[in-house]
Amino acid sequence: MSEQKTLQKHVLEIRNLYASVDGKEILKGLDLTVRSGEVHALMGPNGSGKSTLAYVLLGHPKYSVSGGEILFDNENILEMSPNERAKRGLFLAFQYPVPVPGVGLFNFLRTAYNAVSGNEMPPMEFKKLLDEKMRLLGLDASFSARHLNDGFSGGEKKRCEILQMALLNPKIAVLDETDSGLDIDALRIVAEGINSMSSRENGVLLITHYNRILKYIKPDHVHIMKNGRIVKSGGEKLAQQLEEKGYDWIKDEEIDDE
């Protein structure tokens, strides 16, 4: 009998999390668990705290945690630097990727890959890997010769974020409104890239304001966030209800899952 590989399950647990920015409390006792093999859609109106959660998870220094825990594979990561969290297998795709003129995309991606993997991949070997991932996202081979996000269209910036995710192969990926500002063709390509890396070994927390990306990415769980807390959780049907009714029908008090 051939020996079967046992897949390791990775778990991100957020317990009773409180966080603030510039002295204003944004997260107010948030609880959420994301496991590898799962796609979670986190939805909510503007100002509900979705992006704050993304930044807190990856350790943005502007945000202050005043209570609760963030456990990744049973290890509290709150005292870890963003670099340490990335090496553990967390990844954040930004809502508004920043242009960095003068920094070549190829060198940036190879440096990030080597830092996270802990291995020094030779340039030619990395180029083969990068070309493979770029083809997956419909990116021309010349794309890697450009500077990081410099002169990129909105769709190119978002595909660059997904390219990074595909290369780094994180255990849990947090995607902060990756669908924001995309036309329908770019949205489809980005969604296909996300679907291609989703597997039993990877978990995805997809933060979005609208339902449209969920027509291409089927979530296992949908959560509604209001006033710094998750107030309702359910399945794909919950996102469809939001499409029909908007957010006003969701009460601020916590509602039991499904």
pLDDT in tens, 33-47: 999 999 999 999 989
Selection from 241, 243, 223 nearest residue 233 by Cα: 223
**258: pLDDT confidence band, cut at 50, 70 and 90?**
very low
What pLDDT does 77 receive? 97
Domain count, the chain: 1
User: Is 33 contained in some domain?
Assistant: yes
What pLDDT does 28 receive? 97
180 vs 160: CA distance, rounded Å: 14
3-state SS class at 59? coil
Q: Which H helix or E strand runs over 106?
A: helix 105-117
User: Is 1 contained in some domain?
Assistant: no
User: Is 28 contained in some domain?
Assistant: yes
Which pair of tokens denotes residue 13? Answer: 């647990």
User: Is 2 contained in some domain?
Assistant: no
User: Is 88 contained in some domain?
Assistant: yes
- Measured in whole angstroms, how far is the alpha carbon of residue 208 from the centre of its chain? 10
- Exposure of 121 in the CB half-sphere (CA atoms within 13 A): 22
The CATH number of whichever domain residue 29 belongs to comes to 3.40.50.300
pTM of the predicted model over 0.75 = yes
Four-point Cα dihedral 144, 39, 251, 249, nearest 10: 80
The average pLDDT across 57-64 equals 96
Q: Give the Cα-Cα-Cα angle 217, 223, 229 (nearest 5 degrees).
A: 145
Please enumerate in sequence order all residues whose Cβ is within 8 A of that of 210, keeping only pairs 6 or more positions apart, or say none. Answer: 179
Q: Which domain holds residue 68?
A: 11-96+165-245
Selection from 231, 234, 233 nearest residue 253 by Cα: 231
Q: Is a pLDDT exceeding 50 seen at residue 23?
A: yes
- Phi and psi angles of residue 173, each rounded to the nearest 5 degrees, phi first: -110, 130
User: Is 126 contained in some domain?
Assistant: no
Q: What percent of the chain has pLDDT over 70?
A: 94
CB 90 within 8 A of CB 58: yes
